[in-house]
Copies of this chain bind each other. A is one copy, B any other.
């Protein structure tokens, strides 16, 4: 059921034959240090030490410190939209989820699992978004835009069926995302575990109440 996991994603990158064992250790060390202390508060010397590697080795593959950041975030960002979008498409095309609740459960649970498993990258990404206005812009318009389009199709389906309130897809998407985030943020910030099944059950319960079409 879980399509993308942090291990899946990050280990995919690490499994690439193009990266030597040491380069992988560099990425792992950087992932931990960046997410814990932030990009700017992590020195390449620290990375080298944590990775048990020389500083020179750090620069063999990743030409600059920012190159390490990119190597960590790129596979993460690249997979966020496509895999999320895939779910909405699936919901529609195969009519696997006749009930809105089933659909929301699937989406919410899946995204929560993805986020928890990519907790560290997500935190690093959040740091970057706060620093880089361009990234924030891209996130909203390019990534968000694409997602809303795909999501819109699925939502319209449930709206037509009278299961979903007739608000704009963007607004509905925002509520879904922010409700899910409400569960994720504390556990990402504090590095705490999350009972995903329980959390997604709760989240869906609230979302269904808040988003279902009021029957008269």
Contacts and interface: CB of A to CB of B under 8 A. Distances in A.
Interface of A: 36-38, 40-41, 123, 126-127, 129-131, 133, 136-137, 140, 165, 171, 174-175, 177-179, 181-183, 185-186, 189-191, 202, 206-207, 209-211, 214
Given A38-B40, A130-B130, 4 more contacts: A123-B130, A174-B182, A175-B179, A181-B181
B38 A131 contact: yes
Nearest to A202: B171
A137 B186 CA distance: 9
A126 B137 contact: no
A136 B181 contact: no
A191 B133 contact: yes
Nearest to A212: B209
Contact of A186 (B36, B140, B165): B140
B131 A206 contact: no
A177 B181 CA distance: 10
Contacts of A36: 133
A182 B177 contact: yes
Q: Which 10 A-B pairs have the closest CB atoms?
A: A210-B210, A178-B182, A40-B40, A136-B189, A38-B131, A178-B178, A209-B210, A174-B182, A127-B130, A206-B210
